[in-house]
Structure 1
Amino acid sequence: MNILISVVIPTYNRANIITDAIDSVLKQTYQNFEILIIDDGSADNTENIIKEIQDQRIKYIYQENSGPAKARNNGIKHSKGEYIVFLDSDDLWHHELLEKHIKILNTNSNIGMVSNHSLYKTFDGQYIRKKTCQAKNNKEYLQYILTEPDKAYPGPSTTMFKRECFEKVGYFDETLNFCEDWDLCFRVALFYEFHCINGTLTYVRVHQNSLSRTREVEKFRNSYLKFLQKAFENTSLLQEALYHFALNKHNLFSCLIKCKLLNIKNKAYSNALWSIGSWALYKSRDSFVARKNLLESLGYSHTKIFNLKFLMALLLSHFPLFMLNTYEKLKKGSGRAY
C-alpha cells in the first residue's frame, strides 16, 4: 500500500537555505509525499523562493509570526497524509529516511512514532555532536524524555508520527516557546510504542548564536519547567504507562514504580535546571542567572556536586567573565566538548 506521508517544514526567514531542506525531501527514495511549507511570518523572499520550485506536491502556507509550535500545528491541520513528519528548514535528510521510517510503522500497529539518530554541525561543516536515541523500550523512553531528553529524542527533524497519535493526545502545546516537541513525544509515548532506527538519517545545521540571549534562556527555563510540571501533574497516568510497558508486571514492580517516581521527578528537575544554568553560563554569559539555576539544581540532587562538569560550571559562575573565556579557549585547544 502506497501510503501518503505529509512532510511539514516550518520556516522563518530562511529563504537562503530552505531549498536545501526541500531538495533533501525531493530526493527521497520513497516518493509518495506532500510537502507543507509553513511560513511563520518571514520578512524575506521565502514565498518567492518556494513558488519557483516546480513540484505540485509542495504547498506554501503563510501565517503571522506565532512560533514553531503553532506552525507545526498548522501543518498538521492542512496535511492529508496518514503519517506526518517534521523537518526544520535548517536541516537535511538522508535520502532513505522516509522509506526506512514508513517500513517500521507499516510492520507494527502498536508503534506510534519512529526516530533516528542525528548529526549536529555548524553551517561551515564543523562537527558539534551526534545525538543518539538510547532508550530500548517505552519504559526507558518515558524516563529519559523527562530526565535526559537527548537520550530519547534526537531532534524535531528525526521523528515520524502516525496521524492517530495527534487525534489521541492532541497537538503541540502552543504555550511553550521551547520543549514543545519533548512535551508531545512524552504524551505520545504514554499510549504508543516507539522505535528508533539505528542509523544517522538527519543532519542538523546549528546557528552558533542559538539561545544566546538571557531573555531566550528565561523562556527556555519557563518552558522546560512547565513541560515537567505538566508531565508530573498526572502521576497516575505516568505510573500506569510505566507499568504497562514493563516486562515484569508483578504487583511488586508496580509498587517499585510508585516508589521510584519521586526519584525520577527530582532527577528531571535537577537536570533541567543544570541544562538551563549551562545555557546561561556558556551561551548568554550571564553568571548570575547561571548560578541561580545551578544552585537550584543542587537542591533537587545533592550528589550533583560530585559531577565534575556540574562542579566546573558552578565554580565558573562565581568567577569573572575572563576566566570563563580562558576556560573555553583551553577546552577548544584540547578538542573536548562541554
Structure 2
Amino acid sequence: MMNKKKYKLPLVSIITVVYNRANTIEQCIKSVAEQTYPNIEYIIIDGESNDGTVEIINNNMEHVDQFISEQDTGIYNAMNKGIKLSKGEYVLLLNSDDWYHKETVSLLIAAASKTTSCSIIHANALAIGETGKATYEIKPWLNDGIYTRGMPLRHETMLVPRKIYENYGIYNERYRILADYEFVIRLYKKNISFEHVDTALLYFRVNGISNTDIIKLQEERKLLFKTLFPFLDEESLDIMKAYQTRKHRFTLLAKNGRKSRLYSQSILYNIKSHFIRSAIILFCELLYINQRWINLILRK
C-alpha cells in the first residue's frame, strides 16, 4: 500500500473486517489511503462476500497490503485473524461501514509518543445518520461504571500497542457481540492506561439493532456479568442484562428493587428529585463493583 522505504515512525496496522458491504467498503478503504501518516499496513479480512464487495476491494488493491476472503465464525474471529497477520507496532480496527478522518493515525500516534507506559490511545467519534450528516458526537468515559453501563468508547478509535495483545490476549470469541466490551473490561481490570484524544477522529454509521440482536445482546451481557460477578444470583443477573440506558436502569431498579433485595422499590418511586434518584442509582452501580458489600446486601 505504502512506499516501502524504511520509516523511523512506528508501523501501524489497520484491519478492516467485512461481509457484504459493497455500498460502504470503498469509502472505508479510501479513508485509510488518505491518511497523512506514512507508515501504515492495511489488512482486509472478508467473509466470502457475494454482493460485489470482493470486486471493489480487488479494484483498490493498490491501497491494501493483505487481503483474505474466506469463511469465518464471526466478526471477532475475523478480527483475530487480522491481528495475527499484522506486523505493526500498533493496531487499529476499522469497521467496513465507517471511515477515518485523514489525521486519525497521525494524531493517535502523536498522543502515543507522549506516554511512558503501554497505553491505549482513543478518541471521540461522530455518529452519521441516514442523511449522511453527523447527528451527535460520542465522547468516551472511563470509570468504574464500565461494569454496568456498557462499552465506554468506540473501539475503532483504539490505538492498541501490539504488546497489549501479546500480554493480555486478543478478542474472546465466546462473545459474538460484546467481545470488544469484554476486551476493554479485561484491560481496565488490569489497570491499563487509557489516554484520550479529545477530537472526533472516526465517522460511524448508525445502524438499527433488530429485536433478535437485542435478545442476543442481553444474553451475552448476562454471560459476561456472570463471569465478572459469580456471586450474583440468576435473578440479579436477569436484571443486569437489560440494564443499559439511564432510563432503563431506573425502570428496572424501581420494578425489581424489592424483589432482588438490592434496591428499595418504594424509595426510588417516591423520590421526586432527579439528582437524588441519580445519586442512588450511581451508588447502586458502585455496589456491584465491590463484592464485599454485595455479599452483605445479598445475605439473607
The interval holding the TM-score normalised by the smaller chain is 0.7 to 0.9
Please say if residues 44 and 64 of structure 2, whose CA atoms lie closer than 8 Å, have aligned partners that are also in contact: no
CA deviation after TM superposition for structure 1 residue 232, in Å: 3.6
Task: Output one character per residue of 1:1-45: Cα deviation in whole Å (capped at 9) or x when no partner.
Answer: 311100011111101210111111111110211111111232222
Native 8 Å contact 1:10 1:88 kept in 2: yes
1:73 matched to which residue of 2? 80
Give the structure 2 partner of residue 162 of structure 1: 161
Deviation, structure 1 residue 297:
7.9
Name the residue aligned to 1:319. Answer: none
The amino acid across from 2:159 in the alignment is M
Residue from 121, 127, 136 that aligns with 1:114: 121
Quick check: 1:6–1:35 contact (8 Å CA) kept in 2? yes
User: How far apart, CA to CA, are the structure 1 residues paired with 2:17 and 2:197?
Assistant: 24
Distance 1:144 1:111 in 2: 23
Task: Tell me the residue number matched to 1:273.
Answer: 242
The number of residue pairs the alignment matches comes to 256
Does structure 2 retain, via aligned residues, the 8 Å contact 1:37–1:60? yes
Provide closer, same or farther for how the CA distance between residues 125 and 110 of structure 1 changes in structure 2, counting only shifts above 3 A. same
1:129 aligns with 2:136: yes
Secondary structure of the structure 2 residue equivalent to 1:73: helix
Contact 1:4–1:82 (CA under 8 A) maintained in structure 2: yes
Seen in structure 2, the aligned counterparts of structure 1 residues 107 and 66 have a Cα distance that, compared at 3 Å, is: same
Aligned-partner SS, 1:107: coil
Q: Say if 2:148 and 2:243, in contact at 8 Å, map to a contact too.
A: no
Moved more, 195-204 or 294-303: 294-303
Supply the distance in 1 between the matched residues of 2:243 and 2:113 (Cα, whole angstroms).
39
Match of 2:53 in 1: 46
Q: Report the residue type matching 2:219 in the other structure.
A: N
For 2:145, the equivalent position in structure 1 comes to 144
Hey, what's the Cα distance between the residues in 1 that align with 2:66 and 2:185? 29
Please list the CA deviations of residues 60-80 of structure 1 after superposition, one character each: whole Å capped at 9, or x if unmatched.
112314211111101101111
Change (3 A) 1:297 1:156: farther
Counterpart CA distance in 2 for 1:78 and 1:297 is: 48
AA aligned opposite 1:228: F
Structure 1 pair 144–277 and aligned structure 2 pair: CA distance change class (3 A):
closer
The DSSP-based 3-state class of the residue aligned with 1:147 is helix
CA contact (8 A) 2:16 2:95 kept: yes
Where 1:118 maps in the other structure, the secondary structure is strand
**Residues 8 and 36, structure 1, Cα contact 8 Å, conserved in 2:** yes
Structure 2 residue aligned with 1:27: 34
Residue 227 of structure 2 corresponds to 230
The structure with the greater share of residues assigned to helix is 1
* 2: CA distance, partners of 1:180 / 1:21: 22
How far residue 184 of structure 1 moved from its aligned partner, in angstroms, is 0.6
The alpha-carbon distance between structure 1 residues 293 and 144, as it changes in their structure 2 partners (threshold 3 A), is closer
Tell me the TM-score normalised to structure 1 length. 0.67
Report the AA paired with residue 149 of structure 1.
G
Unaligned runs of 5+ in 1: 236-261, 280-290, 312-338
Deviations 1:145-187 (A, max 9, x none): 213235x31x221111000111111111111121211111121
CA distance in 2 between counterparts of 1:294 and 1:87 reads: 39
TM-score by length of 2: 0.75
Structure 2 unaligned spans of 5+: 1-7, 278-300
Counting only pairs closer than 5 Å after superposition, residues 1-338 of structure 1 correspond to structure 2 as 1-55=8-62, 57-135=64-142, 140=143, 143-150=144-151, 152-153=152-153, 155-189=154-188, 190-207=190-207, 210-213=208-211, 215-233=212-230, 272-275=241-244, 295=255, 299=260, 300-302=262-264, 305=269
Once residues 123 and 212 of structure 1 are traced to their aligned partners in structure 2, the CA distance between those partners, rounded to angstroms, is 17
- The one-letter code matched in structure 2 to 1:38 is I
How many Å apart are 1:198 and its aligned residue? Answer: 0.8
1:112 deviates by 2.4
Q: Distance in 2 between matches of 1:181 and 1:145?
A: 12
Question: Structure 2 CA distance, aligned partners of 1:119 and 1:91?
Answer: 10
When residues 56 and 217 of structure 1 are mapped into structure 2, their CA distance, relative to the original with a 3 A threshold, is closer
* C-alpha separation in 2, matches of 1:149 and 1:111: 24
Counterpart amino acid of residue 31 in structure 2: S
